[in-house]
């Protein structure tokens, strides 16, 4: 494990961020952009699916929100992993980081479960109880992940 941590900390991308405040700034900004895209799309979708928001036409906005959230997730994961490589040993010893990873694993599993049940709702059909509960769980998880991410710097 120590060899993998050393390798991650020494790969050219990590070294670039370790040596260049400007590069770190841009990768960190891209990470925040990814989080913004993800939360900005997933929260309205989850709230609509959970039944909190009723004004939107789900078949029209649902696919766009899903694609936007997926792009935000991909950007946040890629840049988050890149930022992790700057100090992998420190992050793996940080309880807030480990909490964030655990919550992220739950959220990704929740995405899989939700997409197995989502097609009827996106086609304009009734939104079942399972979809509503998974959506409420999703919204809660993503907000907890956001808080855990902010917590990392304070531990």
Rounded to an integer, the average pLDDT of 131-140 is: 97
Instruction: Choose among 140, 124, 155, 144: nearest CA to 50.
Output: 140
Query: Can you give the pLDDT at residue 40?
Result: 98
Instruction: Choose among 69, 78, 76: nearest CA to 32.
Output: 76
* CB-based burial label for 11 (10 Å; 0-12, 13-18, 19+): exposed
DSSP state at residue 85: T
pLDDT in tens, 49-90: 999 988 678 888 999 999 999 999 999 999 999 999 999 999
Domain count, the chain: 1
SS (H, E, C) 27-72: HHHHHHHHHHHHHHHHHHHHHHHHCCCCCCCHHHHHHHHHHHHHHH
Rounded Cα–Cα distance for residues 11 and 25 (Å): 18
Label residue 141 by pLDDT band (50, 70, 90): very high
Label residue 1 by pLDDT band (50, 70, 90): confident
Q: What is the C-alpha radius of gyration for the chain, rounded to an integer number of angstroms?
A: 18
pLDDT more than 90, % of the chain: 83
Residue 61 lies in domain: 2-152
74 touches 34 (CB < 8 A): yes
Rounded Cα–Cα distance for residues 37 and 78 (Å): 14
Instruction: Choose among 104, 102, 109, 48: nearest CA to 76.
Output: 104
Rounded to an integer, the average pLDDT of 139-150 is: 97
Q: With a threshold of 0.85, does the pTM exceed it?
A: yes
Q: Residue-wise over 110-131: b if at least 16 C-beta within 10 A, else e?
A: bbeebeeebeebbeeeebeeeb
């Amino acid at each position: 494990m120590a060899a993998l941590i050393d390798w991650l900390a020494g790969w050219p991308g990590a070294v670039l961020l370790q040596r260049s405040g400007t590069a770190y700034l841009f990768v960190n900004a891209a990470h925040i952009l990814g989080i913004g895209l993800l939360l900005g799309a997933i929260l309205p979708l989850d709230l609509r699916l959970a039944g909190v928001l009723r004004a939107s036409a789900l078949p029209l906005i649902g696919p766009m929100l899903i694609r936007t959230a997926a792009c935000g997730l991909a950007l946040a994961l890629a840049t988050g992993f890149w930022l992790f490589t700057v100090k992998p040993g420190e992050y793996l010893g940080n309880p807030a980081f480990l909490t964030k990873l655990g919550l992220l694993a739950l959220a990704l599993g929740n995405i899989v479960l939700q997409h197995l049940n989502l097609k009827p709702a996106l086609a304009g059909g009734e939104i079942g109880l399972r979809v509503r509960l998974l959506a409420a769980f999703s919204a809660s998880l993503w907000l907890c992940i956001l808080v855990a991410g902010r917590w990392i710097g304070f531990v």
